[in-house]
Amino acid sequence: MPAITPRGVEINRDAARPIEAIRVARTLLRTNRVTMLATLDPGGYPYNTATNLIVEPDGVPAVFMAGLSIHARNIEADPRVSMTVADSRTDVMTTPRLTLSGRAERVPADETAELRARYEERFPKSKLYLGLPDALFYRVQAQAVQLNGGPAQNANSVTPEDLLTDLDTASALMSEAPALVASLNQDDLGTRLAAAADAKPGRWRVSSIDPEGIDLSTASDLARVWFTDPVVTRSDFDTAVADLLELSSAP
């Protein structure tokens, strides 16, 4: 049975407003700090909770939870989950929201160091609870995706693969990622890059990079700036960043 069962309802393309569905879906996933996570209670009822969200460089979402939590125990009994992201600061019926359904996979302890660092970068107060003896990370491997883009902007053509970023061809670049992030922040380029993403004014810093763009953050907000084309080398990356900085300086 599919993770999201098709309802057989065709979208009237003539009535729908145009939407870059894949770009909207990917940006939603990468620029939300919170997700609504639904697990299955052993009694058969859905159990929903709000939790912090991080996204790995390849586009796979991940969440932290304490092993004693209800949602962690639910996942251990049945790994099927669903998660939704949306801009909760707005009327969510008028703005895009994204739902992923799939399976949660516990991250082995020897693979959590990078995830933990990524989590602490996004949520500095997490140092208070990431040290718990039952601290766990789960990756959510999406098996179905549904994007509701707002009134007359629904899209059912986005696939789980559309949310992912290929890292295999850019392994050399990704090996330099920590140094590149540090260099960009040392030069205080985050705010200029945020301007290229039309982010609201603030003290932005670079939080991570990948072959398709740059993730930015402030104390309370996230933004994503996309490259025109994927990059695979340091030279390509430097050129893409220079192009974005030129764009941010344009009147």
Domain 21-163 = CATH 2.30.110.10: yes
**How does residue 134 score in pLDDT terms, banded at 50, 70 and 90?**
very high
Mean of the pLDDT values across residues 131-143? Answer: 96
Phi, then psi, of 18 in degrees rounded to 5: -65, 145
Tell me, what's the pLDDT at 88?
Answer: 80
pTM value > 0.75: yes
**How does residue 247 score in pLDDT terms, banded at 50, 70 and 90?**
confident
Read off the pLDDT of residues 41-77 as tens digits, 9 standing for 90 and up. 999 999 999 999 999 999 999 999 999 999 999 999 9
Q: CATH for 168-249, among 3.30.420.10, 1.10.10.10, 3.20.180.10, 3.30.565.10?
A: 3.20.180.10
Read off the pLDDT of residues 177-221 as tens digits, 9 standing for 90 and up. 999 999 999 988 999 999 998 898 999 999 999 999 999 999 889
Tell me, what's the pLDDT at 191?
Answer: 93
C-alpha–C-alpha distance, residues 52 and 35, integer Å: 6
Tell me, what's the pLDDT at 59?
Answer: 97
Of all residues in the chain, what percent carry a pLDDT higher than 70? 91
Please, is 81 exposed, middle or buried when counting C-beta atoms within 10 Å of its C-beta (0-12, 13-18, 19+)? buried
Phi, then psi, of 149 in degrees rounded to 5: -85, 0
Domains of the chain, by residue range, sit at: 21-163, 168-249
Of all residues in the chain, what percent carry a pLDDT higher than 90? 75
Q: Where are the alpha helices (DSSP H) in 82-211?
A: 112-122, 171-175, 177-186, 190-196
